[in-house]
Structure 1
Amino acid sequence: MRRALAVLEQVRDHAAAEGLSLTELADTLGLSKSTVLRLAQPLLDTGLLSRDRRHGHFRLGPGALALGQAYLAGIDLRTAAAEEAHRLMREAGGTVHLCVPDAPHIVYIDKVENETAVRMASRIGSRAPMYCTAVGKAMLAWLPEDVFAQVVDAGLPTVTTRTLTDPGLLRTELARIRNRGYSVDDRENEPEVRCVAAPIFDHNDVVVGALSVSGLTSRVTAARVRELGPAVAAAALRVSRTLGATR
């Protein structure tokens, strides 16, 4: 069984190419051609693999698609992110939020609080502006241009003295976020709160949410932000992979 799965994994890893020949599979796995054919036959019978008649190359079959769709149908964003959200809360010591886009706003769909820290005012189901929250900017950085226009058209009013209210400055900030992989709300939405967030992508590599860590500025210092950024980005990436993203 394990060797048969190795055959399937090799073909999967070359799914974007023309497939793999019998010789290539055998050489890569260190097996004889006859052994590869024997291991592949049940995978061909169940449709997990297919083999084209012209070249004899192995590719993923329709059964692999059905299996993937069944997997994706069995998970949702909250379920996929739950473990990472709790891990982040324990490691970062702040409040973790999971949000989804609803331009020009974001919606909080889950929240994991550190019981020893000051509680954040956010509530599951509540909304906040995209342009001045870390989760909002994390998603906006990868959303289409028309969403950016929708956010700007809705207005960029001042929330705190540090809120970005100029569309040009906001666009520059979104470029920085794409470059480093995470966003920062440095007292832009609440005067004494810093937040670090990263985007979550689905199996189509489309941004569907964001994961964040928030805390008072006395705990989430500027130096701490630089530590949290890569950690939050890594957690969001693991959630994305669970959802089938290939980024």
Structure 2
Amino acid sequence: MNVRSNPDRRFANTLARGLGLLRAYRAGDDGLTHSELAARTGLPNSTVSRLTFTLSELGFLSHEGRNDRYRLGPAALALGNVATASVSFIDIGEALMQKLANDTGTLVSLAVSDDDRLMLAKTWRPSGTASIWLEPGHRIPVYGSSSGRAIVAALDDARFEATAPSDEMRKFRSDGYGELISRGFTIAPRDLRFSDTINAVAVPFHAQEYGQPVAFSCGALPSVLDDARMETTIGPRLRDAVRELEQMTGRSPALVRRG
């Protein structure tokens, strides 16, 4: 995840670099060294050093004595708690999505747009499973993922065109839209999937807090979740769970029918 610069005079590149450093952290990290942060962000070590010092002084990172690893600090934790509390649909859907994970034996995930990729903002793993594939903070591509297909299919035309999509992305979106209209969920085509170690099915949800669609997905290893099971069992279960969440939160469906 390289931190990008922007030539627009209104864009604060130093702030972007600092936030990019915080975004480099994943749920399973036991702290990160300067070299690890530099590798994840694409920033020079000298820049990383200045940013970690500043962020530590402000409480967004913590650094204990001679330990060369930086961890997210109390200010980051407080900010994350405030952000989570302000997104009501996550709390409302907690029990619903956990039950879906338990019943299907899949990892249920919430994916949100993160620059030109998607980030898993929340995951629900089946009860009794110690570790399962992906964690919050993990980033996946839009093109080639079922969650990306669901989100771009639910975008309005103006917002989609603002991304300067390629012809391949246009077809990816169009086919995803057809899937959502016909059956209510999307599955990335096998030959386009960004990874051959996980299969997933996704459904968009209108997150008014973000002003754009997000995607709920169910994923698992291909040996657990093959295409037939996604299409006949897991896809319909996920679709129905998202519809129930829409009713619980009073949200309109994410998909806007196009003429």
Q: Give me the TM-score of the superposition, normalised by structure 1.
A: 0.57
The answer to whether structure 1 residue 183 and structure 2 residue 186 are counterparts is yes
State how far apart, in whole Å, the 1-side matches of 2:88 and 2:213 are: 11
| 1:24-63 Cα distance to aligned partner (Å, 9 max, x none) | xxxxxxxxxxxxxxxxxxxxxxxxxxxxxxxxxxxxxxxx
Following superposition of structure 1 onto structure 2, how do residues 29-48 of structure 1 map, counting pairs within 5 Å?
Answer: none
In structure 1, which of residues 232, 244, 247 is the aligned counterpart of residue 250 of structure 2?
A: 244
2:154–2:177 contact (8 Å) kept in structure 1: no
SS in 1 for 2:143: coil
Structure 1 residue identity aligned to 2:138: S
State how far apart, in whole Å, the 2-side matches of 1:139 and 1:111 are: 17
State how far apart, in whole Å, the 2-side matches of 1:109 and 1:219 are: 23
User: How many Å apart are 1:186 and its aligned residue?
Assistant: 4.9
Following superposition of structure 1 onto structure 2, how do residues 1-247 of structure 1 map, counting pairs within 5 Å?
Answer: 76-114=88-126, 115-116=128-129, 119-120=132-133, 122-151=134-163, 153=165, 166-179=168-181, 180-187=183-190, 188-202=193-207, 207-226=212-231, 227-247=233-253
Using a 3 Å threshold, how does the CA distance of structure 1 residues 129 and 151 change in structure 2: closer, same or farther?
farther
2:143–2:169 contact (8 Å) kept in structure 1: no
Structure 1 residue identity aligned to 2:152: L
Identical positions, percent: 21
State how far apart, in whole Å, the 1-side matches of 2:219 and 2:164 are: 25
The residue that corresponds to 2:46 in the other structure is none
Using a 3 Å threshold, how does the CA distance of structure 1 residues 118 and 152 change in structure 2: closer, same or farther?
farther
User: How many Å apart are 1:234 and its aligned residue?
Assistant: 0.8
State how far apart, in whole Å, the 1-side matches of 2:136 and 2:240 are: 24
State how far apart, in whole Å, the 2-side matches of 1:119 and 1:74 are: 27
State how far apart, in whole Å, the 2-side matches of 1:215 and 1:117 are: 14
User: How many Å apart are 1:172 and its aligned residue?
Assistant: 3.0
Structure 2 residue identity aligned to 1:119: I
1:199–1:207 contact (8 Å) kept in structure 2: no
Greater CA drift, 76-85 or 97-106: 97-106
User: How many Å apart are 1:99 and its aligned residue?
Assistant: 1.8
1:94–1:113 contact (8 Å) kept in structure 2: yes
State how far apart, in whole Å, the 2-side matches of 1:103 and 1:133 are: 15
User: Which residues of structure 2 form unaligned runs of 5+?
Assistant: 1-84, 254-259
State how far apart, in whole Å, the 1-side matches of 2:173 and 2:208 are: 26
Structure 2 residue identity aligned to 1:191: D
User: How many Å apart are 1:117 and its aligned residue?
Assistant: 8.3
Structure 1 residue identity aligned to 2:224: R
| 1:186-228 Cα distance to aligned partner (Å, 9 max, x none) | 5502112110111112579x75322111011111112201111
Using a 3 Å threshold, how does the CA distance of structure 1 residues 172 and 77 change in structure 2: closer, same or farther?
same
| 1:165-190 Cα distance to aligned partner (Å, 9 max, x none) | 82343133222233121111355021
Using a 3 Å threshold, how does the CA distance of structure 1 residues 104 and 240 change in structure 2: closer, same or farther?
farther
What is the number of equivalent residue pairs in this alignment? 163
Q: Give me the TM-score of the superposition, normalised by structure 2.
A: 0.55
Structure 2 residue identity aligned to 1:216: L
SS in 1 for 2:136: coil
Whose Rg is larger? Answer: 1
State how far apart, in whole Å, the 1-side matches of 2:250 and 2:214 are: 14
